[in-house]
Amino acid sequence: MALLHKGYLEIYALYPNSLLPLKAKRCCKLDPELKIHNQEINKRRIGIEHVFGSLKTFKILAGRYRNRGKRLGLRFNLIAGISNLELIKK
Protein backbone atom coordinates (compact mmCIF):
# COMPACT_ATOMS: atom_id res chain seq x y z
CA MET A 1 0.00 0.00 0.00
CA ALA A 2 1.40 3.38 -0.97
CA LEU A 3 0.79 6.65 0.82
CA LEU A 4 0.33 9.46 -1.66
CA HIS A 5 -0.45 13.12 -1.52
CA LYS A 6 -2.61 15.13 -3.89
CA GLY A 7 0.28 15.86 -6.27
CA TYR A 8 0.34 12.22 -7.42
CA LEU A 9 -3.21 11.68 -8.60
CA GLU A 10 -2.07 9.88 -11.79
CA ILE A 11 -0.29 7.19 -9.77
CA TYR A 12 -3.59 6.24 -8.17
CA ALA A 13 -4.70 4.80 -11.52
CA LEU A 14 -1.68 2.45 -11.49
CA TYR A 15 -1.89 1.57 -7.78
CA PRO A 16 -5.56 1.51 -6.75
CA ASN A 17 -4.74 0.24 -3.22
CA SER A 18 -2.92 3.47 -2.35
CA LEU A 19 -4.18 5.82 0.31
CA LEU A 20 -4.85 9.21 -1.19
CA PRO A 21 -6.21 12.21 0.71
CA LEU A 22 -9.57 13.40 -0.54
CA LYS A 23 -9.77 16.80 -2.16
CA ALA A 24 -12.57 19.30 -1.55
CA LYS A 25 -14.50 20.64 -4.52
CA ARG A 26 -14.77 24.36 -5.20
CA CYS A 27 -18.38 24.62 -4.16
CA CYS A 28 -18.26 22.36 -1.10
CA LYS A 29 -16.06 21.82 1.91
CA LEU A 30 -15.04 18.39 3.15
CA ASP A 31 -17.17 16.71 5.80
CA PRO A 32 -15.54 16.48 9.25
CA GLU A 33 -15.19 12.70 8.95
CA LEU A 34 -13.39 13.08 5.60
CA LYS A 35 -11.08 15.65 7.17
CA ILE A 36 -10.27 13.12 9.90
CA HIS A 37 -9.57 10.54 7.17
CA ASN A 38 -7.14 12.98 5.51
CA GLN A 39 -5.47 13.74 8.84
CA GLU A 40 -4.90 10.03 9.50
CA ILE A 41 -3.25 9.60 6.10
CA ASN A 42 -1.11 12.68 6.65
CA LYS A 43 -0.01 11.49 10.10
CA ARG A 44 1.32 8.32 8.50
CA ARG A 45 3.04 10.23 5.67
CA ILE A 46 4.79 12.92 7.70
CA GLY A 47 7.79 10.74 8.58
CA ILE A 48 8.35 9.97 4.91
CA GLU A 49 8.12 13.66 3.99
CA HIS A 50 10.71 14.51 6.66
CA VAL A 51 13.11 11.96 5.16
CA PHE A 52 12.61 13.44 1.69
CA GLY A 53 13.29 16.89 3.11
CA SER A 54 16.51 15.74 4.75
CA LEU A 55 17.64 14.09 1.51
CA LYS A 56 17.03 17.33 -0.36
CA THR A 57 19.62 19.11 1.80
CA PHE A 58 22.04 17.43 -0.58
CA LYS A 59 21.73 19.72 -3.59
CA ILE A 60 22.34 16.84 -5.99
CA LEU A 61 18.87 15.48 -5.11
CA ALA A 62 17.10 18.83 -4.82
CA GLY A 63 17.30 19.76 -8.48
CA ARG A 64 17.86 18.22 -11.88
CA TYR A 65 20.58 15.56 -11.97
CA ARG A 66 23.09 16.63 -14.61
CA ASN A 67 25.83 14.02 -14.18
CA ARG A 68 26.27 10.57 -15.66
CA GLY A 69 23.20 8.43 -15.21
CA LYS A 70 25.39 5.41 -14.59
CA ARG A 71 26.46 6.79 -11.21
CA LEU A 72 23.09 8.06 -10.00
CA GLY A 73 22.31 4.87 -8.09
CA LEU A 74 25.69 4.89 -6.36
CA ARG A 75 25.39 8.53 -5.35
CA PHE A 76 21.83 8.11 -4.14
CA ASN A 77 22.82 5.08 -2.05
CA LEU A 78 25.70 7.03 -0.49
CA ILE A 79 23.42 9.95 0.37
CA ALA A 80 20.79 7.57 1.77
CA GLY A 81 23.48 5.89 3.89
CA ILE A 82 24.62 9.24 5.28
CA SER A 83 21.03 10.16 5.98
CA ASN A 84 20.42 6.83 7.76
CA LEU A 85 23.48 7.42 9.95
CA GLU A 86 22.09 10.81 10.93
CA LEU A 87 18.74 9.21 11.82
CA ILE A 88 20.47 6.63 14.02
CA LYS A 89 22.27 9.41 15.92
CA LYS A 90 18.97 11.10 16.82
- What is the tens place of the pLDDT at every residue in 35-56? 998 899 889 888 888 888 888 8
| pLDDT value of position 26 | 83
30 phi and psi angles, rounded to 5 deg: -75, 145
Q: Which of 59, 55, 24 is nearest to 38 (CA)?
A: 24
Question: Which pLDDT score is estimated for 36?
Answer: 93
Instruction: Identify whether the C-beta of residue 40 lies closer than 8 Å to the C-beta of residue 81.
Output: no
Q: Which amino acid is at 34?
A: L
Reduced to 3 states (helix: H, G, I; strand: E, B; else coil), residue 18 is: coil
pLDDT at 67: 81
What's residue 4's pLDDT?
61
Counting every residue written for the chain, the total comes to 90
